[in-house]
């Protein structure tokens, strides 16, 4: 495996970890506020924001 390919896979996993943390935080906060519907909405909002900070930005 070329070094450049190895680096890109590592950075993808690092970014995916951030996204997973944002989803978990959204679910926990949503569940604390409004039980199951809040957990669902919090998870979706967390996923959207996690995707934005991980993959949506150009830098």
**Averaged pLDDT in 10-residue chunks for the chain of 59 residues:** 56 75 88 91 88 70
pLDDT of residue 57: 63
What's the domain range around 33?
A: 19-54
Q: Per the domain annotation, does 49 fall within a domain?
A: yes
Q: Per the domain annotation, does 1 fall within a domain?
A: no
pLDDT of residue 39: 92
pLDDT of residue 53: 81
Residue 57 CB neighbours (<10 A) = 7
Record the pTM: 0.66
Number of domains in the chain: 1
pLDDT of residue 54: 76
In angstroms, the CA 30 to CA 40 distance is 7
Q: Per the domain annotation, does 23 fall within a domain?
A: yes
Q: Per the domain annotation, does 4 fall within a domain?
A: no
Per DSSP, the three-state class of 54 is: helix
Contact between residue 16 and residue 50 where contact means Cβ atoms under 8 Å apart: no
């Amino acid at each position: 495996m070329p070094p450049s390919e190895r680096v890109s896979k590592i950075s993808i996993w690092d970014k995916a970890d951030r996204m997973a943390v944002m989803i978990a935080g959204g679910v926990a906060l949503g569940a604390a506020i409004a039980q199951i519907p809040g957990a669902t909405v919090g998870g979706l909002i967390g996923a959207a924001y996690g995707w934005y900070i991980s993959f949506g930005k150009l830098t």
